[in-house]
Chains A and B, each alone.
Chain A
Amino acid sequence: MGKRKNPTEDEHLLSVGEIEEKVEKEHSKENKNLGAEEGERKEAERELKENVSALEKRFSTKIEFI
């Protein structure tokens, strides 16, 4: 049987403050991603409205999707 490794010897244990900082960072990254996705979705909705309305005007018809 080999010598059992003591995790505190070669692994850096994070302090509570460091863990909180990491969690905070991850949350802010996620929030940023969600914000970007929301922005893209709104932009796509605006584009859809504009383009559909232009097509409806051009062909004097109501456009609906399946």
Chain B
Amino acid sequence: MANENNKTREQLSWVKGLLNNLPLLKWVKKYSADRILPDNKIAEGFGIRITPDSISIGDTGMAKMLVTGATFAGEEHTRFNAKHLFETLKEIGNEAVLIVTKGNDKTGAELVLQYNDSVVVLASMPKTDGSGRYG
């Protein structure tokens, strides 16, 4: 009986974690839950470090994937501030094409948004030391 109670508590605790996961709930509300993957193998393939509670779920067309309870741990080249990208997209709309320039190891790449006959260039985030690592 005590074992069953513990099991139920564990299961409910997992469900509670799910219900408290606002990004996941928002994602499902927008795209539905039809693209939940049975495991996180693809996420791991992208260099994402997962936890036992991680969930991989794509949007309607699998053009983007949300992985909950996860951290990107793969190799990286350049970081960009999402705030700058969000501010730019708010101004120019979402019809632009996102281009990552080739860049180099010292300065990193730049992010270019090409829309119609105009371009916005976003600077990369500064690296914290000479070794080319981010903080």
Asked whether A and B interact, the reply is yes
Question: Taking beta carbons and an 8 Å cutoff, which residues of A are in contact with B?
Answer: 44, 47-48, 51-52, 55, 58-59, 61, 63-66
What are 14 A-B contacts defined by CB distance under 8 Å?
A44-B60, A47-B60, A47-B61, A48-B60, A51-B61, A51-B62, A55-B42, A58-B45, A59-B41, A59-B42, A63-B42, A64-B38, A65-B36, A65-B37
Q: Contact check: which of A58, A59, A65 meets B34 at CB < 8 Å?
A: A65
Are the CB atoms of A63 and B45 closer together than 8 Å?
no
- Whether A51 contacts B63 by the Cβ 8 Å rule is yes
Interface residues of B (CB under 8 A from A): 34-38, 41-42, 45, 58, 60-63
Question: Considering the chains assembled together, what is the distance between the CA atoms of A45 and B42 in angstroms?
Answer: 20
**Cβ-closest chain A residue relative to B45:** A59
Smallest CB gap from A50: residue in B: B61
For chain A, what secondary structure do more than half of its interface residues adopt (helix, strand, loop), or is it mixed?
A: helix
- Once bound together, how far apart are the Cα atoms of A52 and B58, in whole Å? 10
- Choose from A44, A55, A58, A66 the contact partner of B36 (Cβ within 8 Å): A66
* Residue of B whose beta carbon sits closest to that of A60: B45
| With A47-B61, A48-B62: A66-B37 Cβ-Cβ less than 8 Å | yes
Nearest-neighbour CB distance to chain B for A63, whole angstroms, equals 7
**Cα distance A62–B63 when bound, in Å?**
17
Q: How far is the CA of A65 from the CA of B36 in the complex (A)?
A: 6
Contact B61 A63 (CB under 8 A): no
Question: Across the interface, which residues of A come within 8 angstroms of B58, CB to CB?
Answer: 51
Tell me the minimal C-beta distance from B111 to chain A in angstroms: 22
CB distance A61 to B41 under 8 Å? yes
For the complex, give the distance between the alpha carbons of A65 and B42 in Å. Answer: 12
* Measured CA separation A60–B111 after assembly (Å): 30
